[in-house]
Structure 1
Amino acid sequence: MKWLITLGLLAIAVGGFAYWFFSQPGPQQLDMVNNIIPGDRDAKLLVNGQVYDEELGLGLNIWAPTRVSDQPLPVVVFIYGGGWRAGSKDQYAFAGRALAHRGYLTVLADYRLYPKVKFPEFLEDSAKAVAWVHDNIADHGGDPDRIFLSGQSAGAYNVTMLALDPQWLGRMGKTTDLIKGVAALAGPYDFYPFSSETTKNSFGSFHKPELTQPVNFVRADAPPLWLSTGIDDTEVKPRNSRILRDKMLEVGGDAEYVEYPDMDHIEIMMAISKPFRNKGPVLDDMIAFFESRP
């Protein structure tokens, strides 16, 4: 009888954990699974919850290699996706670990989301985060002259707009020259007219929709772009990255396009985590792009 009671209690505990686990946001689930897989040990959470906007209470986390360096480290500011309506810097810790393990001081920054804000407020927040990093990252061992941006989906949109449209960093007293390259995963860059509920919510009320589209800001002197996508992505179709690459090259800009077979919108982000790196060399290709820049 006792063993039946024990099995019953165990089943309740397992069921309760499973219910709790699957109630978490997808990126949080991925981070938890990532943490139990060996690897990426040369990474630590250096700064947790640093506020970069006192008025709005927006914060960022900084991941760093555990090994000590006598030289300032290159920096990646990573902006997460989530349709401009979901996400958190803490949920994407697996990205911070992955990049820190490869030698990059990695900043994960929060920004305001729908329905609290719409375009352009989330861009203004991302610009503030990048400006804070440029001003303060040297205090944490980073090199302000080697700052890269990266993001996935909505985050890829944010960082690409910061690189292409000078006004956002300009409002912070900065120029896009501080960005040495942008590694963008599965981003939307040419999505007007707005057809999805997500884009209608976040962009539909803006009075000049043409100003929301990254493809309208291509220029020869923009930071280099690495635009990647999964061939099977039906949420943000690969044409977004191809069109932006083509338009950048037409004006003499620096852009490359990488597509991954058998990979969809979510899987390209999953491929950065330890459990799913066999899906494709996304992380390796990102690092190669960063290292190819002076």
Structure 2
Amino acid sequence: MRRFFLLTPVALLLAAIVIILATEYVVARPSHRTKDVAYVPASAPDFDKERHILDVYSPKKAAPNAAGYPVVLFIHGGSWTSGSKNIYTFIGRRLAKQGVVAVLINYRLAPPVHVPEQAADCARALAWTVQNIKQYGGDPARVFVMGHSAGGGLAALLATDDALLAAHGLPQNPVRGAIMDDPAGLDMYSYLKEMKYEGDEKYKVPFGNDPAVWKQQSAIYKIKAGMPPFIFYIGGETYPSISGSSGRFRDRLKAIGQPAPYTIIPGRHHIPMVLQLYWKDNIIYQGLLKMVGA
């Protein structure tokens, strides 16, 4: 068994990105991108001009009804220490082309901040989305969250942690559903207590040394009746820690009478689980569009 994340060959990842960027213009035409919008006031004492920003991708055609298009807020992965919304422009374009307003966010990375601050950033981005998405053609009553890898764990917190949202301007949880793309961090409490993979110590950089924090930032312990629906897409060749925690999460949802669709995609490793979103007919988009009603 291996640890969470092993680096994929750099050349392979760079080649995939080059191919993606080479055809981006063709896909960009049906959508409009509003770039680098601050979701935290510049006057805030912790404002970070590089990380407290988001992009909005809107269909160029007017919505078919006055309420607006459904909205998906996407959170990138990167082991809580790296990553950027700018890598995933293709997701914003594909969603907008298919009748969804996409919000792709940055959040502060570890170090110097830890996962509680990252989760707070995601909650602030969600609050901004609910308050402002109407002017971009989105329906604030139909906001969904999506994440890959570490972003999946953060997205799960938005769907389950009502106290987190209330602390950042959302007294009612506005999330209408959560799309999990090979999510990491759903149960960091168990993972960091076991420490059974080589190199696991590095995950204490974002999560710290306090087991109480590990549990607080693990969405699996916040499952309760009345939560928004979840759908899972898991790589058949992903890391055992990801498939294991996702399976336990699914089982706990089922135990409270809220079964979640759970699709294992044969042959897929962890990084290809997000790169496959370059193709708009991908199985993940098919489930997503059905969930959001696009």
Bin of the TM-score, shorter chain as denominator length: 0.7 to 0.9
Q: 2:35 aligns with which of 23, 27, 48?
A: 48
Structure 1 residues 225 and 49, CA gap change in structure 2 (3 angstroms): same
Distance 1:251 1:23 in 2: 42
Distance 2:11 2:125 in 1: 26
In the TM superposition, what are the counterparts of 1:105-120 in structure 2 within 5 Å?
Answer: 105-120=101-116
1:221 is the counterpart of 2:218:
no
Contact between 1:149 and 1:181, CA under 8 Å: does it hold in 2? yes
Larger C-alpha radius of gyration, 1 or 2?
1
In the TM superposition, what are the counterparts of 1:225-244 in structure 2 within 5 Å?
Answer: 225-234=230-239, 236-244=241-249
Contact between 2:165 and 2:173, CA under 8 Å: does it hold in 1? no
Structure 1, unpaired ranges of 5+: 1-21
Structure 1 residues 59 and 283, CA gap change in structure 2 (3 angstroms): same
Distance 1:136 1:291 in 2: 21
Q: Give the letter for the 2:204 counterpart.
A: K
Aligned-residue offset at 1:155: 0.5
More off after superposition, 127-136 vs 45-54: 45-54
Contact between 2:233 and 2:263, CA under 8 Å: does it hold in 1? yes
Residue 40 of structure 1 aligns to a residue whose secondary structure is helix
Q: 1:162 aligns with which of 158, 161, 164?
A: 158
Structure 1 residues 203 and 118, CA gap change in structure 2 (3 angstroms): same
Structure 1 residues 249 and 42, CA gap change in structure 2 (3 angstroms): farther
Distance 1:29 1:167 in 2: 42
Distance 2:104 2:222 in 1: 25
Contact between 1:154 and 1:187, CA under 8 Å: does it hold in 2? yes
Structure 1 residues 207 and 23, CA gap change in structure 2 (3 angstroms): closer
Contact between 2:62 and 2:137, CA under 8 Å: does it hold in 1? no
Which residue of structure 2 lines up, in the alignment, with residue 285 of structure 1? 287
Q: How big is the alpha-carbon RMSD for the aligned residues of Structure 1 and Structure 2? A: 2.4
Q: 1:252 aligns with which of 250, 257, 262?
A: 257
Aligned-residue offset at 1:132: 0.3
For residues 128-170 of structure 1, the C-alpha deviation after alignment (integer angstroms, 9 at most, x for no partner) is 0000000011111110001010010110000101111111111
Contact between 1:180 and 1:223, CA under 8 Å: does it hold in 2? yes
Structure 2, unpaired ranges of 5+: 1-8
In the TM superposition, what are the counterparts of 1:119-158 in structure 2 within 5 Å?
Answer: 119-158=115-154
Distance 2:123 2:255 in 1: 27
**If the length of structure 1 is used for normalisation, what is the TM-score?**
0.83
Give the total of aligned pairs. Answer: 267
**If the length of structure 2 is used for normalisation, what is the TM-score?**
0.83
Instruction: Calculate percent identity across the aligned residue pairs.
Output: 27
Distance 1:117 1:30 in 2: 30
1:60 is the counterpart of 2:65:
no
Residue 159 of structure 2 aligns to a residue whose secondary structure is helix
Distance 1:198 1:103 in 2: 40
